[in-house]
Structure 1
Amino acid sequence: MYNQELVTIIVPVYNVEQYLPKCLDSIISQIYKNIEIILINDGSTDRSLAICEEYKEKDNRITIFNQKNQGLSSARNVGLDNAKGDFISFIDSDDFVAADFISELYTLLKDTDSDIVQCDYIQVEEDDAVFIPKSSSFRTEEFSAYEYLQRLYSKKIYPRNVVVWNKLYHKNIWDNIRFPLGKLNEDEAVVHYIYDRATKITVSSKILYFYLKRSGSIMNVSPDMEIKRYLHYLETLTQRSDFFELKGYSELKEETLAQKGKLVRRIYKKNKKLDSSLVNYDLLICNYNRLVYDALDENIKLYLKNRYIKLKLKVRLLYIYLKLKYKGNLSHSIE
């Protein structure tokens, strides 16, 4: 049995009055007691702040920070800037965790001398009863930083490998690393930096985190917002590729470029499925075309040389590039 070191749990809060009590109940009921709970109210316009204050009255481990709406990245950064714990965990305010979420991850981290540990999760729908498969056994796997970076694009374990919320971290892993402000896909923007700092990452198959898929989630977005999400993800992949080049990870750089090529193809296919009855249909088409063309114009030669991109996709990317270059409507630029 280890001495319980302080663990900081960071919870960004924005207009989640319907889900917040369940989230906070699961946190204050943790078997592991030595925790500080940082709630960052990001300009909520519903009762979320009032709920935070009610829970603070009941539990002195809770600290509330209140700010104007600046987005998830800003809220998480406030938590990181004010964390006093030796270890860090993130929980989204519409999700909830098992009572042994922290205790299991903390014990695993200490037992394996890891810098980051990860549990499994299940996705739940609103008002669904949670069913956890009965199993007394679960497996753990240990990885070096590079080995885990090689799993970034694994569809088999997605999204476990690209989110920050199902993990426990040594606090020093986050030194001088913060989430980018004003960007979507904020987890993807930092995970490669975080993983690269770890000496060892241990993954458990035990289900300890419950991810709520709700109607107002980022997956249900307008076409304009979807374009912005694609743009930000392309930027993230570019920055990641540059980082891997700086580190000398040539294979990871090539894989990242291939991932970018696949994303460009996916964006183009999405463009073709736009509803022509949309009021701003012509503008959306222009913006999608511009997004795809710029990504191809920058990298088409690299895509054609990339050994992780299949010949069929290379031909398709070249076709799209030439079509947009000579016949595409590119009169608008993306802001």
Structure 2
Amino acid sequence: MAAPKRVVIVGGGISGLSAAFALLEQAGSKDAPFQCMVVEGQDYLGGKILTNRRDGVITEGGPDSFLTTKPAALSLCEKLGLSSQLINTNQENAQTFTYSKGRLRQFPQGLISMVPTKVGPLFHSGVLSWAGIVRMGADWIIPRRASTNAEETLAEFFSRRLGSEAFDRLIEPLVSGIYAGDANELSVDATFPHLVELERKHGSLIKGALAMQRARPSHKPNGKARTLFTTLRGGLGDLITSLTERLSAAGVSLRRGTNVRAVHILGSQADPSYRLELEGGDVLEAEAVILATPAYVSASLLRPFDDEVSTFLDQIPYASTMTISMVFPEPEVKRLIRGYGFVVPRVENRSLIAATWSSMKWAERAPAGQCLFRC
């Protein structure tokens, strides 16, 4: 019997843990035994997913939800038995605002997967000028992009389809609220591949969004349709807890508080193996290594034997953000707020990019009589 393949995953965030879970599935389906270790530099697992619970208040240090248009997260929740814990946004508070031209304005209704489809709400919101609305509507007749291997940024894609004003005032603040990055640097293929497919298939984002709406079933098999964003009742940290419990039960070793200092290739290129040097002097050997680390960390580990890839990884920019959660007595603030919160376009030149009334957007985020805000 062949010895089990040894796999080391560097990085214990959601990517590294999901990679370990996928390996478990693959090994089970192919009857291919393996030994797996996840090595994480922090003393906790989950990376940017960090849920805090105190005095009945649930706060998120990182993301507070995920997009249902990307089915991988929903699928993972289902495999972990968490589907019953998924909750939608509170539809009775389904309003979002944008800080535009000196004040908060209601974000226009009729956006389907971030694509505007109704003229009336756009006009009444005052977010776009008439010229901007007309240019946005030209998406209906602008030819689709010719087939090419060249990637577009989000800014290039949306400006080409909907116009620069619609991008600056409507799309960019939504993108920043999700990714907190610069739309001039983010790839549309990597972030919103379904929108690229809408253009390819329908020749227009608006036509494609309307086709999506018509094709969407009126109900799900379990009777629960999903909103654009969804989360777990107890916070996204429950996803990390379920993943780590499942991995530990399957024999995956989870090593916290240890950084990988270097990776060395042993053997031939046709049949390589690897030696990993850890801080503290420990050494690991493996037949396969997965780097689930930030690009700049991966670049430093790969540089000794692949300088070209390391150079590309080093060129990937990162955004620095701060998240602040605050709790107020409900009587003091309830009359001043509506909806889920607001976004701030970059063209407004403000430090704040978004604020969420978390206890109005999600159920069970704060005790009765309290309002939880996050910005």
Bucket of the pairwise TM-score, normalised by the shorter protein: under 0.3
Structure showing greater radius of gyration is 2
The higher-RCO structure (CA 8 Å, 6+ apart) is 2
Tell me the TM-score normalized by structure 1: 0.25
TM-score of the aligned structures, taking structure 2 as reference length: 0.23
